[in-house]
Structure 1
Amino acid sequence: MESVSSQMMIAFISAFVLCACLLGALYYLLPSHFLAAQKNARSNHTIPARQIGGLALVPTILILLAVFYSFAGLSGRTVVLLEVSGWLLWLTGLLDDRYDISVRLRLSVQLLGAVLGIAALGNDFQLFTFLPFWLEFGLLVFVMLVWINVTNFMDGLDLMTVSGLGIPVLWIAVFAGLGLAGMSAGYLAALIAGAIMGFALFNRHPAKVFLGDSGSLPLGMLSCFALLLFAQQASVWLALLLPLYYVLDASSTILMRLCEGENIFVAHSRHAYQKAKRAGHSVWSIVGAVALLNVALGVFVFLGLLRPHAWVLLGITLSGVIISSVLLLKFRTTPTQ
């Protein structure tokens, strides 16, 4: 147990230090106008920010994963597929940040990245034993494709990725350190969480840096992979509970836009956290509320791991949905000032 905890800590600290140092170097060495995102009608940041976070965060995760994958118990095939998918999405995101590539090309590459990411799980991976392999494979590819885009959509406010995704992924590493989750999910989660916390040094309010597509697209693939591993090792419901705020905010926003006849592939600013920002909530109050929610959800999942009985899982799932929905409703119903 102590050895596993030490490995999780080493992975986290290594990713934190490398990402922070690399991003610091890029911030001061690259021209100030490079990948600079100017404010517009959809913006929620208060000063012009640079979309260079992914240039440090993703290489940090992928390099450390390639160097230390054997500690996580991942096969060489799995790591190769993750690396190819990650670098492909990273390059596509960088080109999109720089040149604004077409939606069709972007989605095509995302689909390929999702196929590679799900293939990395292996032929023996299965969450739903009642489904044939090919059907579950297609379903998981769709889930990963959606999650890649959700991660991209939600990186629109200072520290939102840190509080909304960093904390849930960090919980997986904590569970692995406690022997409640597998090393494969825990080690990758520790690398992801450490890199996100290194990114947080530059993304704190008022944010100087955002991920950009080069960061959010591969981060979505890698975090989805870690969550799917955790789902197999623990429970689908518990894995879904960890990032529940992201799931509810993104899904409710997509449904609202579809019902109103909007093109969901066009950039927008209608997420609950964005509406709360425009309504006058401070950045710290929004991301702080999401962070506290994710801490509470992690505690619920911890209880579920300790007592994996049907009534316990039902109780914590309902509790998680209720408190997440209350926060989402508060964000959405606050009158705009």
Structure 2
Amino acid sequence: MTEIPLIPLMALSCALALVFTGLLKANFQTRFLDIPNDRSSHTRPTPRGGGLGFILAFALTAAFTHPNPLAVGLVLAPLALIGFLDDRGHVPASIRYLVQLLAAALAIAQFGTLPLFAIPFIAIAFTAFINFYNFMDGLDGLVASTAALQLAFLAVTLNQPLWWLLVAALLGFLYWNWSPAKIFMGDVGSTVLGASIAIALLNSPTPTHLWTALPITFPLIGDATYTLSRRLLKGENIFKAHRTHLYQRLQQSGWTHSQVAIAYLLVTGAIAVLISTLGLLGSVMSTGLAISAIAGGEFYLYRRNQHDQGPNSADRVLEALN
């Protein structure tokens, strides 16, 4: 197939995502409606499943530029299908995870050059990326914007220009998904984004490239990992829905959806600059930056909570302990 220059394809991908998502919004107002509940961060019914718009745009344009578009498509298609079905109605978690393991196996077979002992660990990590990006998709524009910046970084750093088409598609989607969102990406979008990031890393030229680029994912993966660890330490049921991710608690403390998304974008951008300028050293520093950002968020929430409780809060805490 004749290749078309990247820039026109990016413009086409963005335009297609803009149009497709608008059409999905108009047609998903009933069967795909997300009704707010006590775990929601939104207050009005909003259609979900809009991620299908940027997936279709990406798929149609990738066919004209990537030497083997089926390689990526074979991994992402099962995830998109099961995610779409889950957005439409409930799919058991066991079935979803089996599909994720299938996608991981396909990705490893096509992009991984790994010793046999590492394959199970890589498969689990691959499914973790899929689920963590899904967990983080709880505020308007957060995952779509942050993933777009991450994919742009990976496209340059790992010399994988294919991902620019997904970046462009996400920009078109963000017209509808930025706060206040008119449509959510749903599982169909978030799981495909997590897998796309994982594919890009797995397809790194060398292991050194992979480990150097990995911290670009830490603003999202770090929040998800930290929250999971925090809930395990507190003895909570980690399979039960909740609203205790750092990004959720920041929004509950008074931040707008846009402010939270911009904060995560700033941290991601800072990591991109550190890795681009300092290489492996910047990667190490980026890990510290991500940890510091989480600690800073917790400190802010602690101080905010102390302020909301008033000057006698410490005395009330001591009384409760006694």
Q: Give me the TM-score of the superposition, normalised by structure 2.
A: 0.85
1:155 aligns with 2:124: no
> CA separation of 1:227/1:322 partners in 2, compared to 1, >3 Å: closer, same or farther?
same
Which of the numbers 15, 18, 40 marks the counterpart of 1:17?
Answer: 15
Letter in 2 for 1:35: F
Report Cα offsets for 1:267-294 as digits up to 9, x if no partner: 2221100011111112222111111111
Equivalent residue for 2:311? none
Question: By how many angstroms is 1:262 displaced?
Answer: 2.8
Q: Post-superposition shift, 1:167?
A: 1.2
- Residue deviations 1:80-139 (CA, integer Å, cap 9, x gap): 3431221111111111111211111111111111211222205xx24xxxxxx1122222
Contact 1:45 1:207 in 2 (8 A): no
Over residues 200-256 of structure 1, what are the superposed CA-to-partner deviations in whole Å (9 max), with x where a residue is unaligned? Answer: 100111111111111112221122111333473762332221111112100011112
In 2, Cα distance between the equivalents of 1:152 and 1:270?
15
- Equivalent position of 2:97 in the other structure: 107
* Paired AA for residue 324 in structure 1: A
Cα separation, partners in 2 of 1:13 and 1:265, compared to 1, 3 Å: farther
Of the three residues 39, 42, 58, the one matched with 1:42 is 39
Partner of residue 120, structure 2: 138
2:107 corresponds, among 117, 142, 147, to 117
> Which runs of 5 or more structure 1 residues have no equivalent in the other structure?
1-5, 71-75, 127-132
Return the offset for 1:7. Answer: 4.9
Q: Name the counterpart of 1:73.
A: none
Q: How does 1:1-337 map to 2 (within 5 A)?
A: 7-28=5-26, 30-70=27-67, 76=68, 79-122=69-112, 125-126=113-114, 133-173=115-155, 175=156, 180-182=157-159, 185=160, 187-230=161-204, 232=206, 235-305=209-279, 312-313=281-282, 316-317=285-286, 319-330=288-299, 332-333=301-302, 334-335=304-305
Which AA in structure 2 matches 1:89? L
CA RMSD of aligned residues (A): 2.4
Q: Deviation of residue 188 (structure 1)?
A: 2.7
CA deviation map 1:172-202 (0-9, x unaligned):
23x2xxxx532xx2x2321221121111100
SS of the equivalent of 1:43 reads coil
Secondary structure, aligned partner of 1:155: coil
Structure 1 stretches of 4+ moved >4 Å: none
Q: Does the 8 A contact of 1:51 with 1:212 survive in 2?
A: yes
Describe the shift of the 1:209–1:327 C-alpha distance in structure 2 as closer, same or farther (beyond 3 A): farther
User: Per the alignment, in what secondary structure is the counterpart of residue 242 of structure 1?
Assistant: helix
Q: Secondary structure of 1:47's partner?
A: coil
Q: Quick check: 1:62–1:86 contact (8 Å CA) kept in 2?
A: no
Rounded Cα–Cα distance in structure 1 between residues aligned with 2:215 and 2:271: 7
Higher relative contact order (CA 8 A, sep 6+): 1
**Structure 1 residues 66 and 331: alpha-carbon distance in aligned structure 2, compared to 1, 3 A threshold:** farther
Distance 1:36 1:241, change over 3 A: same
Shift in Å, 1:259: 2.0
Distance across 2 between alignment mates of 1:265 and 1:239: 30
**Cα contact 2:24–2:50 (8 A) shared by 1:** no
Paired with 2:185 and 2:296, the residues of 1 have a C-alpha distance of 25
Structure 1 length normalisation: TM-score? 0.82
Give the aligned partner of residue 314 of structure 2: none
Structure 2 SS opposite 1:298 = helix
Q: Any idea what SS the aligned residue of 1:69 has?
A: coil
Gap change, CA 1:331 and 1:108, over 3 Å in 2: farther
Q: Note the C-alpha offset of 1:164.
A: 2.6
How far the C-alpha of 1:314 sits from its partner, in A, is: 6.4
Residue deviations 1:54-75, cap 9 Å, x none? Answer: 22122222232233212xxxxx
For 1:147 and 1:21, locate their aligned partners in 2 and report how far apart those are by CA, in whole Å.
28
Shift of 1:143: 0.9
Determine if contact 1:169/1:190 at 8 Å carries over to the other structure: yes
